[in-house]
Structure 1
Amino acid sequence: MNPLALIVNAARRLDNMFPGYFEKQQKHNHYADFGYPANLTFTQLHQMYSRNGIARAGIEKTILKTWQDTPFLLEAERDGSEGKLKKETPLEKEIRLRFDQLRLWQHLAEADRRSLVGKYSGLILRLGDNKRFNEAVDTVGGGLLGLVEVIPAWEGQLTVGEWETDETSENYGQPKMYQFNEAQVGDTTNKTRQFDLHPDRVLIWSKDGTVHGQSLLEPGYNSLLDMEKISGAGGEGFWKNAKSAPVLQVDKEAKPDQMAKAMGIDPSELVDKIGEQVEDWNKGFDKLLMLQGIEAKTLGVNLPSPEHFFAIALQSFAASIPIPLKILVGSQTGERASTEDAKEWAQTNMSRRAGQVIPNTMALVKRLAQFSILPEKDWFLDWTDLTESSMAEKIDRVVKMADTNQKMKDSKEAVFSHEEMRAVVDYEPLSDADKFRDDITGDDADDALNLPTVAQPE
């Protein structure tokens, strides 16, 4: 037996006899066989987001749903003990106006988007403390005006320049200094900002608030490559069939010298002349191809139906996000199925908010309070519920509740009260005075509420 085969067989037997001590021999390297990169870089992920429509849809639809509306920063929870809405305080109004001026919520949404493409993103804080970006922050004067600008940054623009290696430091293992180079990603036109950045002046936006996150595109990257291969090969195949470049087969009795003489050229120029003739023929469907002793044939490309292969990769990518397939590609084939998908998608993004977006946002609020830009207190982030029913659905529910009461009128007891119906459409409960007024009319109402009688003109 071949010595190499003996070695391989011995290795396989040892692996079976002592699992865990001897490395199992792999039959295939799937990444090498199928052309998948073993390690992904930010550049590859960003290029996929920029040039692949399915990848972009996965990112954009996640962001658009999560940031369907913008939140409000409140001094206290929106709902009081009696369920009534509280009025906006002067400080809340000042914060809202300043955040709108800075377009803060839009910049946070952009940082969230960029964190899905790379392992993380950054939000650079430009502060009015008359210090450089590489200096630590103490106290920033001017209140809300102390926050001058917020700058979203890609992973490729914001890198760790130095790590804290002092084991006695409370920040051991954390970034000690960042490096920001605006021209590292995308179009470099008018991107000139480049500086070292102290950690006080940057907020890392990721699932855990560190630079060790994972791109949303990474688990489904191989499936995205498969879709590109299928669509690219299909497009190239159809183009080749339409182009119909001929293959010239020279007959053994062909006389090239006579062909060259008939064309009025030297025999050494015959190949070039035939090439020009074929090129002219390819440029227009009304051209003629006249050859002497040469047969022109076309090589057709037989393309299998790509839908099945494309669908497998598409489903795999949708599962990796996760996002319902109908929402990812925008097809709606059934009302019930679409409604269920929409509910599931809303719940997924509510989970994203709770687990990633809100903690990162509150980390920014805490940082601003630390710098005295915001007062130190328990702040609350008020955000509408993505899973909440629409007003049309709520009204339809109230109509059904009223119909139920009507059908049960013989029992002389309403199944649903007025207050329960008002609560469904988010209306405040009626006050006791309003309830009493509904039961009496005219002068009786004024007497009952002890209202003064207004004299009527004669």
Structure 2
Amino acid sequence: MTPLAMIMNAARRLETLFPGYFPETKHQHAKDFGWPDDVRSEDALRMYHRHSIARAGVNKTILKTWQDFPALWETEKAGNTKAEQEILQHFRKIGLWRALAEADRRAIVGGYAAVILRLADSKGFDQPVGTVPGGLSGFAEAVLVWRNQLEVSEWITDAASELYGQPKTFTFNEAAIGGTAGRSFQVHADRVLIWSADGTVAARSDLEPGYNDLLDMEKVKGAGGEGFWKNAKSSPVLEVDKEAKIAEMARAMGVPEDEVADAMNDQVEEWQKGFDKLLMLQGMQAKTLSVNLPSPEHFHGIPLLSFAASLGIPAKILIGSQTGERASTEDSDEWDRTCNARRESIAKPRIKALADRLVRFRVLPERDWFVGWSDLTEASPGEKIDRAVKMANINQTQRDEPAFTATEIREQAGFDGKAPAPYYDETDFQDPSVDPDKKDE
């Protein structure tokens, strides 16, 4: 053996002993484990529609983020002004907040979604928007669009433009999602609100990081179900004895020799249909093949935890189980903080972008509108009352002066801190024998 051949032989042995260590023999995880190299938007959409855990992860994120609706305020705090009330009523009328919540759901699945603004400006969808007459009434509808239904058809290529590199027009194809017919037309970017984590069409699906975990859960669940079914079905395997005479078996069954196999299939099928059936064999032995499966919970639980981590949702909240009050409370608090962060980093910026655009269209009065939304991390009414009760109990244990004032206790209970107005009037303490109308006589 030549020196070169000896070296090559030694290298092959080292690669066999230490697979994956040498660059030439890296482990191809996607190929070996049955994972796709790329996750397309169609794959994510199919997984959302067909996988219960994927659907739960997306829907619970949306239900918590949008458990109540935001509002547009003229200042940093709600003033219940006339303009705010008019906006509230009109947005409720056209279902804007529900449309934006659904856009958020679709963006989690596809990476981005869109809302097409239908405006009463007497122009086509492919035309830019100027001034919309009629104020709020000029905003007629918010049309929801999946990612696959909307593609950029033209980009802004003028380097001198402040919108350089952004979409100029889109192609809307309604039939791109589950249909053979539908509307198809060009839409100007003025009339499209892109909803995504970064406000662009480059965002990726939130299901992509945990997509392999979803596939693994499908494999474990499918294999467990198939194994259980095969064991329960218990189809016999017929072993023909070497001394068996096929011609005699055919005569006993009343069929030609070439139909013995079909006759045996029919006999086995009849035997499986009822417990009172007999399996008549001649020169054959019936055996069953059982599938021995390990407990699938552990194999299913690992990708489940991994998928929950990819969405930032506690596993107990994802699957709806609670094993302890303390654990569930901590998970709930963490989930509140996560969804509160989604409001701040994703939802509020997109709502503010929509408000600024409506101001430019003269649909909304020219203001620096604020997006008002409740704080998901704020204590519940019951928790506030519990805090107030604890503070009052502490006051009772103090020998000198109370640790908390009445105002502080009321504020912790969720009130404004002011003492409540008396629920009685001066006549409640008046001598009932005195007529109030004649007390001065």
Please, what TM-score do these two structures have when normalized by structure 2? Answer: 0.90
Change over 3 Å in CA distance of 1:7–1:42 after alignment to 2: farther
Tell me the SS of whatever aligns to 1:156.
helix
In structure 1, give the amino acid aligned to 2:351.
T
Q: Does 1:344 align with 2:343?
A: no
Q: How much has 1:7 moved relative to structure 2?
A: 10
Question: Residue 38 of structure 1 corresponds to which residue in structure 2?
Answer: 37
Q: How much has 1:32 moved relative to structure 2?
A: 0.2
In structure 1, give the amino acid aligned to 2:418.
L
Q: Does 1:377 align with 2:343?
A: no
Question: Residue 397 of structure 1 corresponds to which residue in structure 2?
Answer: 387
Question: Residue 74 of structure 2 corresponds to which residue in structure 1?
Answer: 75
Tell me the SS of whatever aligns to 1:134.
coil
In structure 1, give the amino acid aligned to 2:322.
Q
Matches within 5 A, 1:184-263: 184-186=176-178, 188=179, 192-263=182-253
Tell me the SS of whatever aligns to 1:162.
strand
Q: Does 1:177 align with 2:160?
A: no
Separation of aligned partners in 1, 2:143 and 2:88:
19
In structure 2, give the amino acid aligned to 1:66.
T
For structure 1, which segment, 276-285 or 301-310, has the greater mean C-alpha deviation from structure 2 after superposition? 276-285
Separation of aligned partners in 2, 1:236 and 1:218:
27
Question: Residue 456 of structure 1 corresponds to which residue in structure 2?
Answer: 439
Matches within 5 A, 1:349-364: 349-364=339-354
Aligned with 1:419 (options 404, 407, 411) = 407
Question: Residue 60 of structure 1 corresponds to which residue in structure 2?
Answer: 59
Separation of aligned partners in 2, 1:63 and 1:456:
65
The alignment yields a C-alpha RMSD, in angstroms, of 2.6
Aligned with 1:140 (options 132, 136, 153) = 132
Question: Residue 433 of structure 2 corresponds to which residue in structure 1?
Answer: none
Please, what TM-score do these two structures have when normalized by structure 1? Answer: 0.87
Question: Residue 96 of structure 1 corresponds to which residue in structure 2?
Answer: 88
Q: Does 1:279 align with 2:269?
A: yes
Change over 3 Å in CA distance of 1:5–1:161 after alignment to 2: farther
For structure 1, which segment, 284-293 or 395-404, has the greater mean C-alpha deviation from structure 2 after superposition? 284-293
Question: Residue 8 of structure 2 corresponds to which residue in structure 1?
Answer: 6
Tell me the SS of whatever aligns to 2:285.
strand
Change over 3 Å in CA distance of 1:289–1:92 after alignment to 2: same
Change over 3 Å in CA distance of 1:241–1:4 after alignment to 2: farther
Question: Residue 432 of structure 2 corresponds to which residue in structure 1?
Answer: none
Separation of aligned partners in 1, 2:9 and 2:96:
65
Change over 3 Å in CA distance of 1:76–1:168 after alignment to 2: closer
Q: How much has 1:60 moved relative to structure 2?
A: 0.6
Q: How much has 1:270 moved relative to structure 2?
A: 1.5
Separation of aligned partners in 2, 1:455 and 1:359:
66
Tell me the SS of whatever aligns to 1:33.
helix
Change over 3 Å in CA distance of 1:395–1:454 after alignment to 2: farther
Separation of aligned partners in 2, 1:158 and 1:146:
24
In structure 2, give the amino acid aligned to 1:71.
P
Q: How much has 1:457 moved relative to structure 2?
A: 6.0
Number of equivalences: 424
Change over 3 Å in CA distance of 1:296–1:361 after alignment to 2: same
C-alpha distance after superposition, 1:255-298 (max 9, x if no partner): 11111112222212222211221222233333221111011111
Q: How much has 1:209 moved relative to structure 2?
A: 0.4
C-alpha distance after superposition, 1:356-407 (max 9, x if no partner): 0100111111111111100111111221110111111111111111111111
Matches within 5 A, 1:159-170: 159-170=151-162
Tell me the SS of whatever aligns to 1:25.
helix
CA contact (8 A) 2:153 2:170 kept: yes
Tell me the SS of whatever aligns to 1:176.
strand
Question: Residue 19 of structure 2 corresponds to which residue in structure 1?
Answer: none
Separation of aligned partners in 1, 2:82 and 2:440:
45
Tell me the SS of whatever aligns to 2:23.
coil
Q: How much has 1:455 moved relative to structure 2?
A: 6.9
CA contact (8 A) 2:156 2:163 kept: yes
Question: Residue 430 of structure 2 corresponds to which residue in structure 1?
Answer: none
For structure 1, which segment, 307-316 or 162-171, has the greater mean C-alpha deviation from structure 2 after superposition? 162-171
Separation of aligned partners in 2, 1:123 and 1:338:
36
Q: How much has 1:29 moved relative to structure 2?
A: 0.2
Aligned with 2:260 (options 259, 263, 270) = 270
Q: How much has 1:350 moved relative to structure 2?
A: 0.7
Q: How much has 1:320 moved relative to structure 2?
A: 0.8
CA contact (8 A) 2:381 2:414 kept: no
Separation of aligned partners in 1, 2:118 and 2:25:
53
Question: Residue 307 of structure 2 corresponds to which residue in structure 1?
Answer: 317
Percent identity of paired positions between Structure 1 and Structure 2: 54
Change over 3 Å in CA distance of 1:73–1:314 after alignment to 2: same
Separation of aligned partners in 2, 1:59 and 1:7:
53
Separation of aligned partners in 2, 1:71 and 1:4:
73
Change over 3 Å in CA distance of 1:72–1:8 after alignment to 2: farther
In structure 2, give the amino acid aligned to 1:107.
A
Separation of aligned partners in 2, 1:252 and 1:173:
79
C-alpha distance after superposition, 1:205-262 (max 9, x if no partner): 0111001112111111111111000000000000011111111111111111111112
In structure 2, give the amino acid aligned to 1:72.
A
Separation of aligned partners in 1, 2:140 and 2:36:
42
Q: How much has 1:344 moved relative to structure 2?
A: 0.6
Q: Does 1:48 align with 2:47?
A: yes
Separation of aligned partners in 2, 1:167 and 1:275:
75
For structure 1, which segment, 288-297 or 340-349, has the greater mean C-alpha deviation from structure 2 after superposition? 288-297
Separation of aligned partners in 2, 1:280 and 1:344:
58
In structure 2, give the amino acid aligned to 1:349.
C
